[in-house]
Amino acid sequence: MTDAPIDLAKTGSEKPIVGRSLWKDALLRLRRNKAAVASACVLILVALAGIFGPMISPHPYDRVYPQYVRAPASLEAYPREEAIIPAFERAMARTRLDIGEIDVEGSVVRVSISSEDPLDPRIVRYIDRSDLFSNARIEDLAADERTGVLAADVHRVRFPFGTDANGRDLLARIFIGIRVSLAIGVLASFMALVLGVTYGATAGYLGGRVDNVMMRIVDILYSLPFIFFVILLVVFFGRSFVLIFIAIGLTEWLDMARIVRGQTLTIKRQEYVEAAQALGVSSWGILRRHVIPNTLGPVIVFVTLLVPKAILLESLLSFLGLGVQEPLTSLGMLISDGASNMRGASWLLIYPAVTLTAILFALNFLGDGLRDALDPKDR
């Protein structure tokens, strides 16, 4: 669950000729860049949260707590002390029993109960059903089974980030959102990267008629608006995670192709390329060894823009109601919901937004660090 630039570094390190010293060197220099190292750490942490968070979270991301709809974020445990007795009274009212004074002692609630008929042991379910209480039991049952003491444990839960409009723990939802968003961002960017760099470099390097045709195809695809693709894809194949990242990847490689082509047009006039051509190096060899590595600076800057862009595009889809399917969610979907709730339940916007910002900041600084580290001219 790292990001694309790291993958690049990996593939590069397998190339023996020019590669080894360049990539090794780059890695060394990257390590010296404190901001980049810190960003990498943040990203690793966030990725770990996305991978393992849903497993270790005390609340499943799709668990609904009907009693805690839109509970504000708080470090204190729910239920609040003052809320216990009224909630217990409400639950007891459903049992239609005569009840005495309610007594809260630590995390146990007790009340004496009596009824005209023998007490039905099933009444404890009324208490257990509430999210607030668990393990309800009848103690001190009298011989005639008409009076007794009903006891229940107060079930304390924490929602450090609050709950959403359905009463689900926002922290757990953010964990799963990170997983989905990062996966979409990374996969879509990777797809765009591979497609875009290959295509753009080929077009730019070969030039002439081939370039013309290839860029015309890009123009055509460009002019077909993105949402159009996605709506149709979603309509045909149903909404799925894979579909969304493919749709975003298919749109984003066009930008990449244009930028790489622009760079390539410049690079191919450089002396060393001409030298390689004179030496009879094949086109693909020149592309691989000279053109693509030299476009990497701007490309990496662009990828650091692309991952966030992919995540944001996904959020636009969520905004239009075409995002991932419930109960899954994404950071974009959480933010989109948060934006419409921002005046009543600001925590729904703040925490997902802060998470997304942290991810994107880290991606940016890491990208900058990589760019500085990879710059072949400054060796």
In the complex, the smallest distance separating the C-beta of residue 343 from another protein, rounded to whole angstroms, is: 5
Contact present, 252 and 185 (Cβ < 8 Å): no
> Applying CB under 8 A, which of residues 74, 134, 277, 364 lies at the interface with another protein?
364
- Site residues for another protein, 159-188, by CB under 8 A, read 165-167
In the complex, the smallest distance separating the C-beta of residue 239 from another protein, rounded to whole angstroms, is: 7
Count of residues in contact with another protein, rule CB under 8 A? 77
- Site residues for another protein, 94-113, by CB under 8 A, read 94
The yes or no reply on residue 322 touching another protein (CB under 8 A) is yes
In the complex, the smallest distance separating the C-beta of residue 190 from another protein, rounded to whole angstroms, is: 19
> Applying CB under 8 A, which of residues 125, 160, 274, 284 lies at the interface with another protein?
125
> Applying CB under 8 A, which of residues 255, 289, 291, 293 lies at the interface with another protein?
255
Nearer to another protein, 27 or 221 (CB): 221
Contact present, 46 and 182 (Cβ < 8 Å): yes
- Which one of the spans 72-80, 180-188, 224-232, 272-280 is the region binding another protein (CB under 8 A)? 224-232
The yes or no reply on residue 258 touching another protein (CB under 8 A) is yes
The Cα 335–Cα 43 span in angstroms is 20
- Site residues for another protein, 339-358, by CB under 8 A, read 339-345, 349, 353, 356-357
Give the torsion sign (CA, 189, 194, 199, 204): positive
Nearer to another protein, 83 or 235 (CB): 235
Nearer to another protein, 165 or 210 (CB): 165
> Applying CB under 8 A, which of residues 220, 278, 279, 280 lies at the interface with another protein?
220
The yes or no reply on residue 54 touching another protein (CB under 8 A) is no
The Cα 185–Cα 137 span in angstroms is 50
State the residue for tokens 């497609």.
195
- Site residues for another protein, 287-316, by CB under 8 A, read 297-298, 301, 305, 308-309, 312, 315-316
In the complex, the smallest distance separating the C-beta of residue 315 from another protein, rounded to whole angstroms, is: 5
Half-sphere exposure of 300 (CA within 13 A, CB side): 25
The yes or no reply on residue 3 touching another protein (CB under 8 A) is no
> Applying CB under 8 A, which of residues 24, 31, 80, 216 lies at the interface with another protein?
216
The yes or no reply on residue 242 touching another protein (CB under 8 A) is no
